[in-house]
Amino acid sequence: MHRSQALTVVKATARLKVLAAHAREHLAAAAAFEAENGVTSDVEGGAGTLTASLLDSESLHGGSPISARSNRPITPLSDLSLYSAAASLRAGAFSPHMPPPPWYTKDIIAVKEMLLGSRINILMLCVPVGIAAHMAQWGATAVFLLNFLALIPLALLLGDVTEDLAVRFGDTVGGLLNATFGNVVEMILSIAALQQGLYTVVSTSLLGSILSNLLLVLGCCFLFGGIKFKTQAFNAVANQATSSLLFLSCIGIIIPTAAVQLADGGEVSSSDLLNISRGTAVIMLLVYLSYLGFQLHTHHDLFKGDDGEEEPIMTFAGALTTLAGITVTVAVCSEFLCSSIEEFSASTGLSQAFLGMIVLPIAGNACEHITAVVVAMKNKMDLSLGVAVGSSIQIAIFAIPFVVIVGWITGHDFTLDFDPFATLALTVSVIHANFVTSDALSHWLMGVALITNYAIIALVFLYKS
């Protein structure tokens, strides 16, 4: 939920400007159509009022749009409503004399607006090129880098389409959809690595995603938000709940690792370790369900944002089809990326542990990292923490157990016996993050401390074989 609310805050202004541009196009097209066919339309009572309101130069740069007819403030449109209105304008829905558009026009326009909504989506060009690089065998370096870059905009687009589906089902089911698909890129990437036997990459990429959100992203939020505001406050009750879950998830990872490292004789049978890992995974998934109930039902008010009413911008069939297409594309790019990791690691000298812990988490988290920082600079710290800390919790108590279960089902046994140093780094990071957020206040020096912690861990993994 926090992820979608934060994206709404960041993108609303840009999409309002896009809507204004589409309004101009619509009026020009309507005028040309009417001139050609000798008809007239009630511009003042139809699209003209809306367009004049939205094109007011002062309205686009602050405050509510002002009606040209009555000078009364118009209720601001929500993020997704802007998309819907833009689609209607482009389709000619406000002109009674223009022919109705095909049923799929709304979906095409919506996808176009999503693609134009962020400059990061220029990296979508890497999707076909990355696939071609694998097919044409351009080399491991080209395949790895191109498919790595391709996953960044795919993660952003996946989040937009998931949000469009979520707004149809209300807070509970919609929140469940957002939570489930919130880290789907990381899960697909981990499963692809698991199927190829890259167990080090699987474990380090999942732990790396937690550390990246908990130290780097949260640190940048505190740093850049603290530069603009002397101190920033956030919800103490919600923070206490998330801190408790963070520590619990840390325990779920520490105990299986400690069972192996501290056992008598230094050995635990593989069957016992599998049973411990699978049992822990099932327990953590039950905790995740409890967390969803807490967040979406019993304490919904603690996590509720101020994003207002939203409407879907795509048809239901179009949203499902787009979601399926993006998910398949993510799976293909992840498969090609993982197939090149071993050779890329050998040619560059970067260990698989470093690639998993530091590099791969960027692909799934880069867009929401930027969003969290931008929202923090708007002094919306609850949303910012919801993106950073909330993602860490979902990976720890949902993504990691899910990968263990998938390995169990597919015959690729994956245990919670992680690298001892990585486990130690996670423990220290969770304690550090809980400590700096304990009083529900932040400033820029806290951000420096968290980023420094992350930099030291990254430096160790760079040189650790």
Higher-pLDDT residue of 127, 176: 127
pLDDT for position 134: 94
pLDDT for position 456: 95
317 neighbors 428 (Cβ within 8 angstroms): no
pLDDT higher than 50, residue 64 = no
Residue indicated by tokens 């398949």? 328
pLDDT for position 235: 82
pLDDT for position 227: 92
pLDDT for position 382: 84
pLDDT higher than 50, residue 92 = no
Sign of CA dihedral 42, 314, 291, 297: positive
Average pLDDT over residues 102-116: 76
So where are the chain's domains? Answer: 2-102, 183-310+328-463
313 neighbors 84 (Cβ within 8 angstroms): yes
In DSSP terms, 441 is beta-bridged to 233
Task: Provide the pLDDT confidence category of residue 142 given band limits of 50, 70 and 90.
Answer: very high
Please tell me the distance from the alpha carbon of residue 3 to that of residue 353, in angstroms, as a whole number. Answer: 28
Residue indicated by tokens 């109705």? 100
Distances (CA, A) of 453 to 321, 458, 464: 42, 9, 17
Average pLDDT over residues 107-131: 85
% of the chain residues with pLDDT over 70: 72
pLDDT higher than 80, residue 197 = yes
Task: Provide the pLDDT confidence category of residue 48 given band limits of 50, 70 and 90.
Answer: very low
- Report whether CATH 3.40.50.300 matches the domain 183-310+328-463: no
Average pLDDT over residues 146-154: 92
Average pLDDT over residues 430-440: 89
Least confident of 114-123, 140-149, 191-200, 437-446: 114-123
Please tell me the distance from the alpha carbon of residue 182 to that of residue 184, in angstroms, as a whole number. Answer: 6
Distances (CA, A) of 185 to 20, 206, 333, 365: 33, 11, 10, 9
Average pLDDT over residues 397-420: 91
pLDDT higher than 80, residue 310 = no
pLDDT for position 460: 93
Average pLDDT over residues 315-343: 90
Residue indicated by tokens 């998309």? 83
pLDDT for position 68: 37
pLDDT for position 3: 54
pLDDT tens, 3-25?
Answer: 555 555 545 554 555 555 555 56
